[in-house]
Chains A and B, each alone.
Chain A
Amino acid sequence: ETGVTQTPRHLVMGMTNKKSLKCEQHLGHNAMYWYKQSAKKPLELMFVYNFKEQTENNSVPSRFSPECPNSSHLFLHLHTLQPEDSALYLCASSQGDRAGDTQYFGPGTRLTVL
């Protein structure tokens, strides 16, 4: 256990569905991240929040919509996804978003888009 939880752990959805991924960290960190991990591709940073403010949007399509209501919770809202969006979505947190801050990852949500 790293102190970062994610729900659900597995999700299967159709292209017309709307779903949300949830991440919660119990480490008192100020920064939270969403990553996408596809087969045979490096971890891709999607979004960064620091003190609830979005500081990075790594050219992610608008069908992915993040929400950070407070420093402990992070959501990723999914809408009209494509099959190529099937991947492991990892949430991470760190003390801050500065260089060298260690990131602690959650277990991930395995998403399959049909």
Chain B
Amino acid sequence: GQQVMQIPQYQHVQEGEDFTTYCNSSTTLSNIQWYKQRPGGHPVFLIQLVKSGEVKKQKRLTFQFGEAKKNSSLHITATQTTDVGTYFCARTDSWGKLQFGAGTQVVVTP
């Protein structure tokens, strides 16, 4: 089935810097969800985007859904060590089931 592609696969960030991770699809998405998984932990829901061009913020995290609803991005400002983990985007397939991307693994250097 259609999958979402996440780039980059790995992201090394200096503490205090900003970075962006991307989620791309070849087909139009009905919605996109973002999850975070800390090392040794389990995925935790962060947010869902539904509308074209939608932008949602959670403190230092900014989530965006593309105008064509084929891509999404997560931008983190002033990265902290607590941001370490793997960030997954997930799309809903034709039957309503979530399909996860491979994730972006974020490493923060103090």
Contact = CB atoms under 8 A, between A and B. Distances in A.
A102 to B, nearest CB: 5
Interface residues of B, number: 22
A77 B97 CA distance: 22
Contacts of B92: 99-100
A41 B102 contact: yes
Contacts of B45: 102-104
Interface in B63-110: 88, 92, 95-103
Interface of B is mostly: loop
A103 B44 CA distance: 8
Interface residues of A, number: 21
Contact of B48 (A45, A48, A90, A102): A102
A103 B98 contact: yes
B33 interface: yes
B41 A107 contact: yes
A18 to B, nearest CB: 25
Interface string B22-53: 00000000110100000001111100101000
A43 B100 contact: yes
Interface string A18-55: 00000000000000000000001111010010000000
A45 B98 CA distance: 8
A105 B98 CA distance: 13
Interface of B: 3, 30-31, 33, 41-45, 48, 50, 88, 92, 95-103
